[in-house]
Structure 1
Amino acid sequence: MSFWAILLLALAMSTDAFAVAVCRGTSYQSTPFIGALKVGLLFGVIEAITPLLGWLIGYIALQYIEKWDHWVVFAVMLFLGISMIYNSFKEDDENCDESVTQSSKKSFLMLIFTAISTSIDAFAVGVGLALANVNIYLAAGMIGLATCIMVTIGLLLGRKIGCFIGKKAELIGGIVLILIGVITLYQHLL
């Protein structure tokens, strides 16, 4: 997988966190840059760790499925892409109308839970990356950095651009994941 494909993958993996950040940002009167950056770092670190965990499991499984690993990569990317596209059309009023009056401890736990829930797809991608023989440290670092940047921007712009734009980013991310899966399958079948 080329550097540009990994970059596209990183951007695609960060779109669901971006959509959540934009929707969360709509509920804040104002978001200070440092606060948005802290949330972005939290999401980025979690999003960087999960593909490493997935890669480890995929690497262990590689010896058992090496002959059809490209089909597994294709299936994982297709499933995640379709899931992201589906989620981009789903109504998500819960995130867009979230109250800011939560206690800071409860709010922090919700942030961690949200970061983990948006990074589950990165875990599955990590499994696929092990099968595609990709430099996982580069990929995980780029995924984490892209997520940190996208979440920070999403929180800062949430009030201005609204949930609609965040959902469209998730749609584009899903399409990119499907394309990466198709390209991987095509390259192995040649």
Structure 2
Amino acid sequence: MNVLSIFLTGLALSMDAFAVALTLGIKATNKDKKNIALKAALYFGGFQGAMPLLGWILGINFTQYIQKFDHWIAFALLSIIGGKMILDVIRDEEDEEKEQSATTSNKEFVLLAIATSIDALAVGIGFAFLKVNILNAVLVIALTTFVVCFMAVFIGKKFGELLKSKAELFGGVILVVIGTSILLEHLHIY
């Protein structure tokens, strides 16, 4: 597998993280957007790089066990976080400082990073079969995701300014849709 193939794999793997980072950008304040962009890039890039390494280490012995429940974990995490964002809009919470700290907490970033990088675990297992240089692959995937997610927060911030009050609702819906999409895809419903 050449560097271009690994880059394209990293780009494909980063799309869920891109969508989530876009959502984080929608809700970000001007003051916090750089901090959120850096956190999103670090967490998502780090997890997207670590998961293929973990998958590569686990190898084929555990594939059947991981694939049985990975989509449920992603669905649950994204739906819970997206659902909370939707409920915040419905409740019309005006405490912006409270809402902002909830979306930028390290715990939430970890949960989102896990939910969006589970598919990278399966890719890592595939890398074991292909005899890919795993360190090069991990580095390319992590850096690709880092750049994509960093930019996504700024794109989301611009998009959020256009949507104004509906931005958080839209972001919550995006997360629930991504989680549902992951679940339906793995259940072969579409």
Q: TM-score range by the shorter chain?
A: 0.5 to 0.7
SS in structure 2 opposite 1:109?
helix
Between the aligned partners of 2:41 and 2:84, the Cα distance in structure 1 is 17
Change (3 A) 1:122 1:153: same
Counterpart among 100, 110, 129 of residue 108 in structure 2: 110
Q: TM-score, normalised by structure 2?
A: 0.62
Change (3 A) 1:98 1:48: farther
Following superposition, the deviation at residue 161 of structure 1 comes to: 3.8
- Cα RMSD, aligned residues only: 3.5
Change (3 A) 1:47 1:28: same
Following superposition, the deviation at residue 160 of structure 1 comes to: 2.1
Contact preservation (8 Å) 1:18, 1:154: yes
Q: Does 1:20 align with 2:17?
A: no
SS in structure 1 opposite 2:105?
helix
Specify every segment of 5 or more residues in structure 1 that has no aligned partner in the other structure, as ranges. Answer: 62-71, 175-190
Q: Does 1:120 align with 2:121?
A: no
Counterpart among 138, 144, 148 of residue 136 in structure 2: 138
Q: TM-score, normalised by structure 1?
A: 0.62
Question: Which amino acid is 1:146 matched to?
Answer: T
Q: Deviations over 1:86-138 (max 9, x none)?
A: x9xxx996487586624469822011111011110111100011111111111
Q: How does 1:19-168 map to 2 (within 5 A)?
A: 19-30=19-30, 31-58=32-59, 61=61, 94=83, 101-102=98-99, 103=101, 107-161=105-159
Contact preservation (8 Å) 2:6, 2:137: yes
Question: Which amino acid is 2:24 matched to?
Answer: R
Contact preservation (8 Å) 1:22, 1:157: yes
Question: Which amino acid is 1:144 matched to?
Answer: A
Following superposition, the deviation at residue 144 of structure 1 comes to: 0.8
Between the aligned partners of 1:37 and 1:135, the Cα distance in structure 2 is 28
Contact preservation (8 Å) 2:24, 2:36: no
